[in-house]
Structure 1
Amino acid sequence: MPKGHSLRLTPAAAAELGRQAAVAGTPGMMHLNLVDGSCERWVIRIRPGHLAGVAVARADGITLFAPGDQCERLGSLELDYRGDLSGGGFLVRAGRELRICACGAAFSPADEPAGVGVQATK
């Protein structure tokens, strides 16, 4: 993992990532990618396997990979998972330098005006 650019995983997120990786047949490996968002600049997309890139987080037997050019954007984030009887989903948490959408899955730099449709790296 690049030093100082690690995404943090909560125990709940690590457990759900591990469960999804096992179900998909890629135990211990998941891939995260930033894609264009509608409510904020970037949305996190998570898929099974090591599709490309570098390790950005490791916890409880799971390694999360992401494209190398997106690592810097992920450094101040924490990925959490919340589930209940009606479903569940991954939530993004960050420090003051980022703005998180009410949906919990999208974020933008805090100094960027809301609604700016800048392309994310794909």
Structure 2
Amino acid sequence: MAANLRLTPAAAAELGRQAAVAGTPGQMHLELLPGDCADHVIQIRPGHLAGVAIARADGVTLHAPKSQLKLLQGLCLDYRGDLSGGGFLIRSGDGISPCACGSAFSLR
């Protein structure tokens, strides 16, 4: 594994579900984009688009661009769902300031 990104069981289950629905079983891709409320916002798409494996859990591998590995170090990816929908959330690690939206963060 190239980065120390952790997946909660809820995140791994949702990543696996989305990968299967998209026709790319076991393969998902995370990329950081410039954010509005914080420096970086996560974008998760099905497939192995490019990059290196950064996390594996419950039969799904999450990939990310190699250039973003340092930014992903120490993060925890979670998933929360309710009756109105759901979404992936960044749980903070050392030196991370998550935004209130949950999917964006800045480095301290």
TM-score using structure 2 length: 0.97
Contact 2:99 2:105 in 1 (8 A): yes
Partner amino acid for 1:85?
L
> 1:47: Cα distance to partner?
0.2
**In 2, Cα distance between equivalents of 1:49 and 1:96:** 29
Is 1:75–2:86 an aligned residue pair? Answer: no
Give the match for residue 116 of structure 1: none
Give the match for residue 90 of structure 1: 88
SS in structure 2 at match of 1:64: strand
CA distances 1:30-72 after superposition (whole Å, capped 9, x unpaired): 0000001000000000000000000000000000000001011
Q: How many residues align?
A: 108
Q: Please report the RMSD computed on the Cα atoms of aligned residues, expressed in angstroms.
A: 0.7
Is 1:22–2:17 an aligned residue pair? Answer: no
Contact 2:32 2:42 in 1 (8 A): yes
SS in structure 1 at match of 2:48: coil
Give the match for residue 58 of structure 2: 60
**Percent identity for Structure 1 against Structure 2:** 69
Of 32, 39, 42, which residue of structure 2 is paired with 1:41? 39
Give the match for residue 8 of structure 2: 10
> 1:9: Cα distance to partner?
0.2
Partner amino acid for 1:18?
G
> 1:75: Cα distance to partner?
1.2
TM-score using structure 1 length: 0.86
SS in structure 1 at match of 2:37: coil
Question: Rg: which structure is higher?
Answer: 1
- Gapped runs of 5+ residues in structure 2? none
**In 1, Cα distance between equivalents of 2:75 and 2:92:** 5
- Gapped runs of 5+ residues in structure 1? 111-122
